Amino acid sequence: MTLPRLVIRNLSCGRGERALFRDLDMTLEAGEAARILGENGSGKTTLLRTLGGLQSPLAGDIEWQSATPSDDGEPILLQDDLCFIGHENALNGALTPVENLDVLMRLSARRVTEKRIVETLTDLGLKRVARRPCERLSAGQKRRASLARLWLTDAPLWLLDEPASALDVDARGVLCARIDSHVSAGGVVVFTTHEELAIANGSVRRVELAPC
Ligand SMILES: Nc1ncnc2c1ncn2[C@@H]1O[C@H](COP(=O)(O)OP(=O)(O)OP(=O)(O)O)[C@@H](O)[C@H]1O
C-alpha cells in the first residue's frame, strides 16, 4: 500500500479572481496532521475546498501521493482517498441519519452495512434519533451524525472544517480520540478549528494563513 503524502507548493487560493492567501507550502507525511489557523475570512474553508477538489487553485500545485493520473496527466484525488466534512453537515433534512449516511457512503464508493451505520450512530449517542428526520435533530446531534462518517470511512486523507462546532465536551473528546487514532494509524488530517482541540498526537502542525 502507498503511504499517503500531501504536498502543497506555492499554493494561492481565492474566491473568483481575488486571492485570499499566496505561496502556501506544506508537506504532510503519513501520520501527520495540520491545523489551519487564520482570522475569519482568511481562507481556511477555501483552502480545504481547494484541497478537496471543489475549486481550483489560483496558482501552485497540490500533490497527493496515492492519486492516480487522469487522462490529461493531472493527478486526481480519488473519492476513496478522501473524507471531506465541511462546515455544513451535508445532511438531507428529510432523511434520517441512517439514510443520510447510507447515501454519503455510497457516494464515496464505500459499501457499509446498515447494521454498521446503526452501531456507529449508537456509539455516538444517537441511537434514539437514528431513524428520525435530520431536520428534527439538534445542532450537536446533526454534527455527530455528519461526523459518523469518520468511523465508517477508510480514506487516508481527512479534510475537516470546524469539526467540533456545536459538539458538547464529551463529543469533542470522542472526536479528538478518533482523529488521534487515524493519525496514529498513518492517516493525514487537515482541519480548522476556532477552539483548541485536545489532540494528543504530537504531530499536529500549526499553519497560519497570512492575508494578502
Ligand atoms: N460562496 C462564496 N462566494 C464568494 N465569496 C465567498 C464565498 N464564500 C466565502 N467567500 C469569501 O471568501 C473569503 C474567505 O472565506 P472562507 O470561508 O474561506 O474563510 P474562513 O477563513 O474559513 O472563515 P471563517 O473563520 O469565518 O470560517 C471571505 O472573504 C468570504 O467573504
Q: Give domain limits for the chain.
A: 5-208
Which one-letter DSSP state was computed for residue 136?
G
Question: How many whole angstroms from 132 Cα to the centroid of ligand 1?
Answer: 32
Question: How many whole angstroms from 43 Cα to the centroid of ligand 1?
Answer: 6
CA atoms within 13 A on the CB side of 117: 22
**CB atoms closer than 10 angstroms to residue 39:** 11
ipTM of this complex: 0.96
Containing 184, the helix (H) or strand (E) segment is helix 169-184
In ligand 1, which atom is closest to the CA atom of 87?
27
The mean pLDDT value for 40-48 works out to 96
Q: What is the pLDDT of residue 79?
A: 64
Give me the amino acid identity at 60: G
Q: What is the mean pLDDT of the chain?
A: 91
Give me the amino acid identity at 77: L
The mean pLDDT value for 155-176 works out to 96
In ligand 1, which atom is closest to the CA atom of 49?
18
In short, whether 49's Cβ falls inside 6 Å of ligand 1 is no
Question: How many whole angstroms from 12 Cα to the centroid of ligand 1?
Answer: 14
* CATH class of residue range 5-208: alpha beta
Give every CB contact of residue 51 below 8 A, 6+ residues apart in sequence. 6, 8, 62, 159, 190
The mean pLDDT value for 53-78 works out to 73
In short, whether 20's Cβ falls inside 6 Å of ligand 1 is yes
pLDDT digits (tens, 9 = 90+) for 72-115: 655 556 667 889 999 999 999 999 999 999 999 988 877 899 99
Of residues 201, 200, 147, 196, the one with CA closest to residue 169: 196
pTM of the entire structure?
A: 0.93
